[in-house]
Amino acid sequence: MLPQELIRRKRDGHELAGTDIAAFVRGITAGTVTEGQIAAFAMAVFFRGLSMDERVALTRAMAESGSVMDWRPLGLPGPVLDKHSTGGVGDKVSLILAPAVAACGGFVPMVSGRGLGHTGGTLDKFESIPGYRAKPDRPTLERVVREVGCAVIGATDDIAPADRRIYAVRDVTATVESIGMLTSSILSKKLAAGLHGLAMDVKFGSGAFLPDFGQAVELAESITTVATGAGLPTVSLLTDMNQVLGRTAGNAVEMVESIAMLRGEPCDGRLLEVTRALSAEMLVLGGLQPDIDAARAAFDHAISSGAAAERFARMVAALGGPSDLLDAPERHLAAAPVVRPVFAVTPGHVVAVDVRAVGVAVVELGGGRTRVEDPVDHAVGFTDVAAPGELVGLQERPLAIVHARSEDAAQAATARLRAAVTIGADAPAAGPLIARRIAA
């Protein structure tokens, strides 16, 4: 079918055949489908939607537009598993989860992304480690996964190239929020990774990509159904992003917090629980544990025994980072020259946090990008971030500690953070951290 005819059919509300979708995607990769046609297709889908069968077809076609990993020749003695998050502020789960699942017998080739808008990127956090190769060649990736059990890397140019071209067009045509195309975009890269199981962390709340709970549920249901239909067993958890996950937001500062948790030091309970829950789902999906309770216990043992920390250290060293990062992170991770507490204007309980505004403050400090080509300052961000319900004072417990490149930047971040936090007399009731579990 001609590209314009396929666009016309979708514009008029008809369901597209899988073979026609596959041909359209092949045309995108080959360059015979123009950017104007991609834009028209994206807008037609935005208004008309995609059925589940169309989403499966689009996902498979985009996954097959480039290289698809095949782990069978390596003879791995365990399942290939992964986790993906829709993004949030302070979301450092992957830094802990990948080595923990590896320590439990899984193999985790985690293809991560950079920060998007106000949300931080796992790849940016790992690039705060001096020497860390975020885009190794394929033989290196295979070796690290086989020998260590995990490798957190960025997508190479041959992974789902059609998705990259489609997303670039969607980003400038106000069609990113299409649930159907968002589903296919996320899953095409996961199918290309040759996985045996996937845990999805779909976030909702003020700091999430999709703040509305209903939209988050729709995306989670779509991802779970489409992934399973495409042959990838998947479970989705809907997790709360109405506060920073953990106590830090930035790049190096989040790496420090994650290392502390891997070393068994006292850590934020919410961060621990989300990481444990997603890890447990992966272990059950991969057949490594019989049920969630056993999987949660296996995760806890991987942390308390130091096995997860050992895998993390080996992964960092194998990908070019320092061999002693786990023992002396302060020796290697960048530190900001200006570090100061941010106190509330009036004392009281933290009632609510505009988490998106906190993420924007990190970007304004230099810890994120306003343009793709912008460099990232890995040293800046916030630590010791107060959570809803906690009591903050004028000179006692601060709202957070800001890490900045200059005094002016620290002052601007201080104003942004104070405006993002609502203070009241009474502590608010806490909502569920994990609001829903969705399985096919």
Q: Which of 10, 83, 125, 164 is flagged as catalytic?
A: 83
Let me know if 11 is a catalytic residue.
no
Q: Which of 29, 85, 275, 383 is flagged as catalytic?
A: 85
**CA angle 315-321-327, nearest 5°?**
80
In SS3 terms, the chain reads as CCHHHHHHHHHCCCCCCHHHHHHHHHHHHHCCCCHHHHHHHHHHHHHHCCCHHHHHHHHHHHHCCCCCCCCHHHCCCCCEEEEEECCCCCCCHHHHHHHHHHHCCCEEEEEECCCECCECCHHHHHCCCCCCCCCCCHHHHHHHHHHHCEEEEECCCCCCHHHHHHHHHHHCCCCCCCHHHHHHHHHHHHHHCCCCEEEEEEEECCCCCCCCHHHHHHHHHHHHHHHHHCCCCEEEEEEECCCCCCCCEECHHHHHHHHHHHCCCCCCHHHHHHHHHHHHHHHHHCCCCCCHHHHHHHHHHHHHCCHHHHHHHHHHHHCCCCCCCCCCHHHHCCCCCEEEEECCCCCEEEEEECHHHHHHHHHHHHHCCCCCCCCCCCCCEEECCCCCCCEECCCCCCCEEEEECCHHHHHHHHHHHHHHEEEECCCCCCCCCEEEEEEC
Let me know if 190 is a catalytic residue.
yes
Let me know if 84 is a catalytic residue.
yes
Q: Which of 59, 112, 119, 122 is flagged as catalytic?
A: 122
Q: Which of 119, 185, 248, 275 is flagged as catalytic?
A: 185
Let me know if 85 is a catalytic residue.
yes
Q: Which of 10, 55, 165, 190 is flagged as catalytic?
A: 190
Q: Do residues 304 and 123 lie in contact, with contact meaning Cβ atoms separated by under 8 Å? A: no
Q: Which of 114, 189, 378, 403 is flagged as catalytic?
A: 189
Let me know if 384 is a catalytic residue.
no
Q: Which of 10, 55, 125, 170 is flagged as catalytic?
A: 170
Q: Do residues 182 and 141 lie in contact, with contact meaning Cβ atoms separated by under 8 Å? A: no
Let me know if 416 is a catalytic residue.
no
Q: Which of 20, 82, 163, 377 is flagged as catalytic?
A: 82
Both tokens of residue 5? 């005819």
Let me know if 170 is a catalytic residue.
yes
Question: Which backbone phi and psi does 380 adopt, to 5 degrees?
Answer: -90, 165
Q: Do residues 21 and 55 lie in contact, with contact meaning Cβ atoms separated by under 8 Å? A: no
Let me know if 82 is a catalytic residue.
yes
CA distance 434 to 395: 34
Let me know if 135 is a catalytic residue.
no
Active site residues: 82-85, 122, 170, 185, 189-190
